Amino acid sequence: MDHLQQSRLNLLTSHMLDRGSLVRLDTETLALRIQDRRARFIGIHKMQIAIDPGDDTLPAWLTRDEALERFGHVDPWIYLGEQNDAVYFALNLDEHGREPLDDFVGLRALAFHLDPADSTVLAYAQAMVAWHKRHRYCGRCGESTESRQGGHVRQCANPSCAILHYPRTDPAIIVLVEKGDKALFGRKPEWPSHRYSTIAGFVEPGESAEQAVVREVAEETGVEVVGARYHSSQPWPFPGSLMLGYHAQAGAELISLNDQELEEACWLTREEIISRLGQGIFIPPPSISISFRLIEDWFDRNSNIPFKTVLEKSDADSF
């Protein structure tokens, strides 16, 4: 399987969406699409998503008239693109300063119930709204900025500056480290009890992703990485990262919690994971995340029982 297909298997990465990058440059076409009968709007409020009043597991994709009735406005909007004969827009409901009277749910909770195509559009919408909220003012001169190009550019309103600001994604690595038949897991003190995951961290300026793998693992666990293999990537809109997934090989098993970011790190075999699941003392990361896929792919590589089957048998699949 190639890396492109690997990335497509991660949730929030569906290839079904036509983002229409050229459409963003055409103000007349955008104006027509706002009025199009196929137009659907999703409201984002305080980084949560408006839900269907009849089913709190579904997002509220609204027609223009429905959005006007529910929110009182259909701006500021962000053009997301086309998918399944619908034209999608995100609405930044915080821009008007009014408190919506609707129900909203976080993307993490919604994503469990959605197909990959819908979850991708919602992740995209949330990440774009987050970017707009963080870039209301120009980083060069401090003047306010204005949305342009269908919400994909913000331009400084100061004529003597007028710099264009584009959406940015923060690259981060996430890695499952192996040594023999064991894998390295860590947990942070703020996580739910017994939650374990792979090692992750942001790529620093002037650093390659592979260098970040080596550095982050050493900083957090003291383990030396002697080899790394790219797995896949996943956008992670909380608020705007791109997770670059790796499998890596360790030179030794000695653990040292150097930067104190983790409260615990440990090496576990597949058998130890099964045992801990049965005791309720190992909870994997959410199944929507690339960290789950890294663990699942490692586990299934040398196991007669798939990881998800093990979770189902242990009643630990409600993570």
Q: Is the pLDDT of residue 96 over 70?
A: yes
pLDDT for res 101: 61
CB neighbours of 5 closer than 8 A, spacing ≥ 6? none
The CATH fold assigned to 170-314 is: Nucleoside Triphosphate Pyrophosphohydrolase (3.90.79)
How confident is the prediction for the chain on average, in pLDDT? 93
**Strand, coil or helix: what is 195?**
strand
Q: Where in the chain is the domain with CATH 3.90.79.10?
A: 170-314
> Helix 290-301 crosses helix 307-314 at what angle (to 10 degrees)?
100
Query: pLDDT for 139-172, tens place per residue?
Result: 999 999 999 999 999 999 999 999 999 999 999 9
Distance from C-alpha of 232 to C-alpha of 131, rounded to nearest angstrom: 24
How many Cβ atoms sit within 10 Å of the Cβ of residue 29?
A: 15
Instruction: Answer whether 111's CB lies under 8 Å from 11's CB.
Output: yes
Can you tell me the distance from the alpha carbon of 295 to that of 198, in angstroms, rounded to the nearest whole number? 8
Q: What distances in angstroms separate CA 4 from CA 15, 83, 85, 132, 287, one per listed residue?
A: 10, 20, 25, 29, 20
Mean per-residue pLDDT for 82-93?
95
C-alpha angle 45/239/9, rounded to 5°? 110
DSSP label of 172: E
Give the pLDDT confidence score for residue 64 in this predicted structure.
95
CATH topology of domain 3-134: Nucleoside Triphosphate Pyrophosphohydrolase (3.90.79)
Q: Distance between CA 218 and CA 241 in Å, rounded? A: 22
pLDDT at 193: 95
Q: Global pTM?
A: 0.92
Q: How far is 142 from 138, CA to CA, in rounded Å?
A: 5
Nearest to 290 by CA among 186, 198, 185: 198
319: pLDDT confidence band, cut at 50, 70 and 90?
Answer: very low
Q: Note the pLDDT of residue 313.
A: 86
